Amino acid sequence: MAARKGSASGAKAGANVSAEELKQYYHDMLLIRRFEEKAGQLYGMGLIGGFCHLYIGQEAVVVGLEAAAKEGDKRVTSYRDHGHMLACGMDPKGVMAELTGRDGGYSKGKGGSMHMFSKEKHFYGGHGIVAAQVPIGAGLAFADKYKGNDNVTFTYFGDGAANQGQVAETYNMAQLWDLPVVFVIENNQYAMGTSVKRATKSPDFYERGIAYGIAGEEVDGMDVLAVKQAGEKAVAHCRSGKGPYILEIKTYRYRGHSMSDPAKYRTREEVQKMREERDAIEHIRQLLLTGKHATEDELKQVDKDIKAIVNGAADFAKESPEPSADELYTDIYTDVAPQNA
Amino acid sequence: MATKILMPALSPTMEEGTLAKWLKKEGDEISAGDIIAEIETDKATMEFEAVDEGTLGKILVAEGTSGVKVNDPIAVMLEEGEDASAAEEAEAPDTGSDAAESDDEGEPAKAPAQAKSSDDDMPKPDTTPDWPEGTPMKTQTVREALRDAMAEEMRSDDTVFVMGEEVAEYQGAYKVTQGLLDEFGDRRVIDTPITEHGFAGLGVGAAFGGLRPIVEFMTFNFAMQAMDQIINSAAKTLYMSGGQMGAPMVFRGPNGAAARVAAQHSQDYGAWYAHVPGLKVVQPYSAADAKGLLKSAIRDPNPVIFLENEILYGRSFEVPDLEDFTIPFGKAKIWREGSDVTIVSWGIGMSHALEAADKLEKEGIDAEVIDLRTLRPVDYDTVLASVRKTNRCVTVEEGFPVASFGNHLSAVIMERAFDWLDAPVINCTGKDVPMPYAANLEKMALVTSDEVVDAVKKVTYR
């Protein structure tokens, strides 16, 4: 067991990936960004209501970790969940239509931005209560271990959630029972408006597992290749029956906490600096171009294709009807045993 | 094509705002992410970012303007190669606006109960017997019946497992899980650390993952630590997922007062859980019901709160000696028929109700005693049919009086059997105090059969 600072960030351009994989990561990250920008736009138009937490800036985290996942692996996260859904292959149309509260949404419009699920893609939410998904993720891993398969569960939470009591409770049980769960702390440095240093004197979240015997490491979350490499290591650890693993992924959200966040707790310059110097998408774009893995024209085509997907999702989300009034009273109870696994 | 920039909604409650300041002027080049204006919402002053790149063609709303409605055009953006005349065109009224059109003509919400008491609302109680006549019976304690229910279900379904504090090696804090570890091993009978919030959430995750967890709380008083996972995660997920996934699981353990364990270990949570859509709530009295209902709970595809009682654990009842029997939810049991008054109770309240009925019998009052057995779903029909017959009703429960389950029953009876009532319904409950430790005070705080007798005399005007 060890907690290592920045060990995986050594994985830079030299990481063992093909040009095709690089292009895929570029595509997947850009899809999330454009989707989120569109969601922000629809929110501004009043088509999306309530809370809407955008993932812009953090794209490399989910895309890097999904690159380390295999079929049957599970994922569960908080309410900043649109990126996770797109990265695991959920349909942008169904996600966007859920944001607009329409019948064609993943939850038939009854869940909204914070509460979406896909049994098919093993995506277990979308949880609106900070850290509630952490013991749930351990429970999903418990189920896999109980059934005797080698799947793992990616349990995502933020630096804010890391201070919740149930995270400590879950670390203890997960290590006690050797549960195959990767705890992914997406440290975007602000829990709503409270910076990490105003919330804890123990800001190295990857070390928080030491007390329970869980290994952890810090990862550069603006480098998708570093994330992927760290993810592969964590997943190998879990699959081999050694129990949980903690990845603290240093990332940054460009937008406010939610749409109604005036973001007075940080400077415009700080955000701009991250965007200009550390943007994960721009990083891969440069790797593709300088490595001559793709031409400007090819990347322009990728942009265009994504724009079409996102516009298609937005159109679908606008055109899909609101759920019928009957839906008010459905899905409170079920008569059928759910095939949850 | 020139596009209009609309006044954005920048908070969930914003309907209009003030355009405080333009940070770009007409003719400025704009890239995505540039701050173009500052807008005051109902909550704060927000920076408004451009989503697309282009040239700011024309400003339509001057800075300092207040009361600008969300979705009103505030400026026109030009794409590469367009000139200001495009802005003029874009200013024309837009017929194909894709702003959300609110539909206020939705169906009115259904009320949970209809306010009418006509004969077409005739209650139809299910009077089928719980088990066939002539079934051989055996004497069992509630504790043994609960253990047998779990063991039988665990034998027939490998996905069923039990977890909680001291359930395995210690054989259960109240010995309800006695023998399960020996038979099923530590894969399926799991001692947890003292970590209610954590293991309740872990159980929910295991249920999402295809297992059938039985989560034991040493007492439901400790389940308050786990309340968020029970309510927000277990009860609501089926709805929030549009029916895609839910939590088929049982949360069980003793509930209510034991003896002299004071305020933090004595609360009855029946009414609390009964409040929540998405949960099923069971509160059995007899050993046969405990067994048949727990088996139903384990098989139920929804989250079930199963409220046991420490004092009842050691009581013996006749239990059908059948290989497999279950009791359905939402079916009350009439323990004794009577014509003068209906006494409705559940859980340990039943012992006070039955004791009161015996006392009343000696005084010539013939009470009908109904055991609800489950609070969600609840069998209104059996209660309403009985009240139509007796015209009087007293409810009995151990919980606090304010917003008690008896309060809810009174409301339903008033709505649906008002014309049949000859007296107001009286709710006998625990007192409106935290449970005291002193023996004499504790006795006073609990509901008693004498209080039930007094209430019956009031509603029968004796």
Sequence ranges of the domains in chain B: 3-91, 137-320, 333-459
Residue of A nearest to B242 (CA): A107
Q: How many domains does chain A have?
A: 1
Q: How far is CA A177 from CA A14, A214, A242, A328, B424, in A?
A: 37, 12, 10, 40, 56
In sequence order, what DSSP letters do the residues of B192-211 get, joined into one string? Answer: --S-HHHHHHHHHHHHHTT-
Q: What pTM did the predictor assign?
A: 0.90
Is pLDDT at B95 greater than 50 in this prediction?
Answer: no
| Crossing angle of the two packed helices A19-44 and A59-66, in degrees rounded to 10 | 140
Topology alike, domains B3-91 and B137-320: no
CATH class of B333-459: alpha beta
- Identify which has the larger pLDDT, B43 or A242: A242
Q: Is the pLDDT of residue B102 over 70?
A: no
Interatomic CA distance for residues A206 and A189, integer angstroms: 14
Pairwise CA distance, residues A163 & B431, whole Å? 39
pLDDT digits (tens, 9 = 90+) for B317-331: 999 999 999 999 999
The amino acid occupying position B287 is A
Nearest CA in chain A to B98: A318
Q: How close does chain B come to A100, measured CA to CA in Å? A: 9
pLDDT at B99 over 80: no
CA distance B143 to B126: 28
- What does the pLDDT read at residue A258? 87
- B-chain CB neighbours of A103 within 8 Å are none
- Chain A nearest-CA distance from B297, in A, is 12
Domain around A158? 3-318
The whole-angstrom separation of Cα B352 and Cα B218 is 25
B48, pLDDT greater than 90:
no
The mean pLDDT value of chain B amounts to 91
Report yes or no: A144 at the B interface, CB cutoff 8 Å. yes
Beta bridge partners of A216: A3, A246
Residue B107 has pLDDT above 60, yes or no: no
- Chain A contact set for B111 (CB, 8 A): none
Q: With a cut of 90, say whether residue B54 has pLDDT above it.
A: no
Confidence of residue A211 (pLDDT cuts 50, 70, 90): very high
A38 and A314 in contact (C-beta within 8 Å)?
A: yes
Q: What letters, b where the CB count within 10 A reaches 16 and e where it falls short, cover A151-183?
A: bbbbbbbbbbbbbbebbbbbbbbbbebebbbbb
Say yes or no to pLDDT of A80 above 70.
Answer: yes
Compute the average pLDDT of residues A271-278. Answer: 93
Which residues in chain A have their CB less than 8 angstroms from residue B9's CB? 43-46, 259
Query: Is the residue at A171 inside a domain?
Result: yes
In chain B, the largest separation of any two C-alpha atoms, in whole Å, equals 99
User: Predicted confidence band at B106 (pLDDT cuts at 50, 70, 90)?
Assistant: very low
User: Tell me, what CATH number does A201's domain have?
Assistant: 3.40.50.970
How close A254 comes to chain B (CA, Å)? Answer: 10
CB B63 within 8 A of CB B21: yes
> Which residues of B participate in catalysis according to the annotation?
196, 265
Given a cut of 70, is residue B87 above it in pLDDT? Answer: no
State how far the Cα of B233 lies from the Cα of B246, in Å rounded to an integer: 9
Dist CA B328 CA B225 (whole Å): 30
> Hey, are the CB atoms on B106 and A325 less than 8 Å from each other?
yes
> Model confidence over B428-452: pLDDT tens digits?
999 999 999 999 999 999 999 999 9
Question: Which of A34-38, B107-111, B443-447 shows the lowest mean pLDDT across its residues?
Answer: B107-111
Note whether A31 and A309 are within 8 A (CB): yes
Q: Are B15 and B70 in contact (CB under 8 A)?
A: yes
Instruction: Kindly state whether residue A137 falls inside one of the protein's structural domains.
Output: yes
Which SS3 state, helix, strand or coil, does residue A285 take?
helix
Give the per-residue pLDDT at B119.
62
Does residue B109 register a pLDDT over 50?
Answer: no
Chain B contact for A6, CB < 8 A?
no
In a domain, A326, yes or no: no
Q: Output the six-digit token pair for B310.
A: 């420490």
In this prediction, residues B30-52 reach a mean pLDDT of: 82
Give the model's pLDDT for residue B77: 87
**What was the pLDDT predicted at B9?**
86
Length of chain A counted residue by residue: 341
Residue B134: other Cβ atoms inside 10 A: 5
Whether residue B43 and residue A260 make contact (CB cut-off 8 A), yes or no, is yes
What pLDDT score was predicted for residue B1?
Answer: 67
| Eight-state DSSP code of residue B52 | S
Average pLDDT of span B9-28: 88
In this predicted structure, the answer to whether residue A248 has a pLDDT above a threshold of 70 is yes
- In a domain? residue A332: no
Q: Which of the given ranges, B77-91, B119-133, B236-250, has the highest pLDDT on average? A: B236-250
**Quick one: average pLDDT of A178-201?**
96
Average of pLDDT values for B344-369?
98
Enumerate residues 6+ apart whose C-beta is below 8 A from A298.
none
| Fold observed for domain B137-320 | Rossmann fold (3.40.50)
A271, two tokens: 């955000």
Q: Specify whether the CB–CB gap between A249 and A61 falls below 8 A.
A: yes
Which stretch of DSSP H or E encloses residue B318? Answer: strand B316-320
Q: Do B210 and A41 touch (CB under 8 A)?
A: no
Tokens linked to B461: 């005007």
* Cross-chain Cβ contact B301/A334 below 8 Å: yes
The verdict on a CB contact (< 8 Å) between B238 and A332 is yes
User: In this complex, do B202 and A119 lie within 8 Å of one another by their Cβ atoms?
Assistant: no
Residue A341 lies in a domain: no
What is the interface size between A and B, counted as CB pairs within 8 Å? 219
Among A109-118, A240-249, B12-21, the range scoring the smallest mean pLDDT is B12-21
- Is B3-91 in CATH node 2.40.50.100? yes
Assess if residue A323 is contained within a domain.
no
